[in-house]
Structure 1
């Protein structure tokens, strides 16, 4: 049984004005957004691929995946490199976000279940709601967010090697 006082770490980031979080153990690194190589015949939310030290990493625009407007490139735009479980395999994917805020700690007991109503986001993507001060933070289950992505599209994208920056 999980300890209610166990401290959990999350990386927080913004999509528009909402604050989201991912479990820190799912994060490989955070990159400044440079450019992505667009791939033909992919869903709109698949922004393309980047070359990360010789590995091809598909980049998903989280805002578009969630039905929001596409992410505009600013000085704060980042790609969060995540390791997700897809069809039994560990896959490296990039999640494009408006800005990364901080690493925060929350006690397991401070995480509430997702709301039944009132969120535009599918509840299957939300692991829970954290609270920091007066601000609620949507904790995402990144495996479930990316589980709806067709693995054949990811495999095809990984077969395309963009030039190194």
Structure 2
């Protein structure tokens, strides 16, 4: 989803989550469910970005670590950790993926006009992995470009194929 698509929509409903000290927002139309932490089956040679898979109601689902993709330091997990199961488009086809979150905060509606492009000078995050950002009560909230992130992960030679 591009920032231009978001501006045409008027508003967007998102679920906010924590990865380390950073807050992200995921559009709720991509969210299938939020689960308590699941056992992860490590996949040999998978790498740090998609270290393994999880069993979601009998289906094998790749678990991606967005902290790695977005260069967010790992600050450990606590009892607020959750797994978000998402339905994203990869190469024109629907795919189910999961991401680990340190905490899930709330569902909110944001005005598309409040979404800003990521400044070119913001070298903190890989710009190709962000659709935009907006200011929340506690600071900036990132809108990850999940299609771009997962497409890149799926095309890596050692990554788990999504």
Q: Same fold (TM over 0.5)?
A: yes
Partner of 2:140: 136
Residue 16 of structure 1, CA deviation: 1.2
Counterpart in the other structure of 2:153: 149
CA distance in 2 between counterparts of 1:2 and 1:130 reads 12
Deviations 1:122-164 (A, max 9, x none): 1111111122236221111111121111357434xx7xxxxxx
* 1:13-46 Cα distance to aligned partner (Å, 9 max, x none): 1111111111111111111113111111111222
- State yes or no: 1:33 paired with 2:54: no
1:37-116 to structure 2, matched below 5 A, reads 37-70=41-74, 72-116=76-120
State the alpha-carbon separation in 1 of the partners of residues 11 and 70 from structure 2: 28
The residue aligned with 1:8 is 12
Aligned residues: 156
- Name the CA shift for 1:78/1:102 in 2 (closer, same or farther; >3 Å): same
Counterparts of 1:2 and 1:44 in 2: how far apart (Å)? Answer: 30
RMSD (Å) for aligned C-alpha atoms: 2.3
Tell me the CA shift for residue 65 of structure 1: 2.3
Please state whether the residue corresponding to 1:148 is helix, strand or coil: helix
SS at 1:49 equivalent: strand
Give the superposition deviation at 1:72: 3.1
- For the pair shown, the structure with the greater C-alpha radius of gyration is 1
Tell me the SS of whatever aligns to 2:47.
Answer: coil
- List gaps (5 residues or longer) in structure 2: none
CA distance in 1: counterparts of 2:6 and 2:68, whole angstroms: 34
Listed as ranges, the gaps of 5+ residues in structure 1 are 159-165
